[in-house]
Amino acid sequence: TSTHEGILRRQSLRESAARTYARSLPIVPVRARGLTIEGADGRRYLDCLSGAGTLALGHNHPVVLEAIKKVIDSGAPLHVLDLATPVKDAFTTELFATLPRALAEDARIQFCGPAGTDAVEAALKLVRTATGRSGLLAFTGAYHGMTAGALEASGGATDVRVTRLPFPHDYRCPFGIGGERGAELAARWTESLLDDPKSGVPEPAGMILEPVQGEGGVIPAPDEWLRRMRAITADRSIPLIADEVQTGVGRTGTFWGVEHSGIVPDVMVLSKAIGGSLPLAVVVYRSGLDVWRPGAHAGTFRGNQLAMAAGAATLAHVRENRLAERAATLGARMLASLQGLAAAHPCIGDVRGRGLMIGVELVDAGSAAPDALVPPPSPRLAAAVQQECLHRGLIVELGGRHAGVVRLLPPLTLTDEQAVAVLDRFADALAAAER
């Protein structure tokens, strides 16, 4: 415990004021396996944060550890810039085998700097170079990262080149109707903006969207709306970028989030789980967009061999064990159970998600304005639920535009028993937070 306290104290003195998780989750992980993290104080936690959705196979999965050890034992170089290696070849082959067929048949891959935001930057630069245009179509509530371009593509940004379009939301519908009609209106809004010469929308180089908004509060894009976005962009020769950083590798119940709607984007931005818990980010795109000259996009850390090996092992394991389907079945069951909980707790405004990407929106049920369709979000209650979960050995993430959404991102290897344990602890925590 003294180690635990000491580490926490020194970290709080030395680290930047921007520290996030460490503030709300004062734990000092020293060991982890699967769903479980053990702290320096000996406490054990069920980890439904999963490195913000990175750990498709949970912590330290044997196939991931084996893959890493194999590279180390082989004497292969760990750092090689973007040189060709057997490890990279195996990763690329495995990745291409999972991609939507129409894209995989004609795809190029750009290895990027290590984080999701680096791949977003690369994608934005790629479509701007390929189209010679600079405008960007992006969505309310979006999250694409923390570097300049990715930040501007995220919700609430102010770059004049970015046109902010409404992302459909059943619960907090921008048009106050929700459902199919809300999504239909969102699509028509987009069409009319693009087709109105007086709208002032800068010539778009691309459209970027998440198949399920994650940080924005777990908001699944309706399939039909996604197909409309695909048609609208295809008709106007606007490259469509799917940011699958969080939705990829089985998380939403299909291998890639776009598969629910069947759309094939022109560009896919991939990170998090593709590195099997090590940093790795790539952009995959139609070969027709490959207009870059040699060196047009570089970066020292584009060749992390351990991440590629861990990633290839993860992709193969998810594919061979049909873990996406497992995520779909188990996720649906967890959603149903949480909806049951919502029926008994008015402070749960909404339960939503896809696969094992689940969000529970906490609301201030008592303080809804008489004419409001839904009560205001309750970041206070969400934070209290997160703390109560922590006391019960359950780690959950917060999200949403007002941080009113508790998010569950368990590994795809979650067992039925573990799912029950997670839900039991969550229900207890909710009851405690309400008191």
Instruction: Kindly list the residues in this chain that would bind ligand PMP in the complex (CB under 6 A).
Output: 52, 115-117, 120, 143-145, 210, 214-215, 243, 245-246, 271
Task: Compare residues 145 and 410 and give the one whose CB is closer to ligand PMP.
Answer: 145
**Least CB distance from residue 67 to ligand PMP, whole Å?**
21
Closest by Cα among 124, 182, 114 to 148? 124
Encoding tokens for residue 321?
A: 């064990």
* Helix, strand, coil tally for the chain in percent (to 5): 45, 15, 40
Shortest approach of ligand PMP to residue 95 CB, angstroms? 17
Q: Is 367 exposed, middle or buried (0-12, 13-18, 19+ CB in 10 A)?
A: exposed
The answer to whether the CB of 362 falls within 8 A of the CB of 378 is yes
Report the residue number, 144 or 425, with the smaller CB distance to ligand PMP: 144
Compute the least distance from the CB of residue 154 to ligand PMP, in Å.
8
Query: CB of residue 216 vs ligand PMP: minimum separation in angstroms?
Result: 9
Rounded distance, CA 116 to CA 307, Å? 14
C-beta of 124 vs 194, nearer to ligand PMP: 124
Cβ atoms of residues 292 and 283 within 8 Å: no
Of the two residues 54 and 337, which places its CB atom closer to ligand PMP in the complex?
Answer: 54
Residues 206, 241 contacting (CB under 8 angstroms): yes
Q: How many whole angstroms separate alpha carbon 339 and alpha carbon 42?
A: 34
Q: How far is the CB of 118 from ligand PMP (least distance, A)?
A: 7
Nearer to ligand PMP, 307 or 423 (CB): 307
Helix pair angle (416-434, 379-391), 10° resolution: 120
Q: Which residue is nearest to ligand PMP (CB)?
A: 116
- 3-state SS, residue 415: coil
Residue 53 CB, nearest distance to ligand PMP (Å)? 7
Nearer to ligand PMP, 279 or 376 (CB): 279
**208 closest CA partner among 122, 311, 97:** 122
Q: Report, in Å, the least distance between residue 382 CB and ligand PMP.
A: 18
Q: Cβ 243 to ligand PMP, closest distance in Å?
A: 5
**Rounded distance, CA 71 to CA 52, Å?**
26
Q: Which is nearer to ligand PMP, 243 or 361 (CB)?
A: 243
Q: How far is the CB of 368 from ligand PMP (least distance, A)?
A: 30
What residues are paired with 29 via a beta bridge?
Answer: 39
Among residues 96, 117, 123, which one has the least CA distance to residue 315? 96
Dmax over CA atoms of the chain, in Å, equals 68
Name the CA radius of gyration of the chain, rounded. 21
Q: Which is nearer to ligand PMP, 116 or 222 (CB)?
A: 116
Between 384 and 412, name the residue whose CB sits nearer to ligand PMP.
412
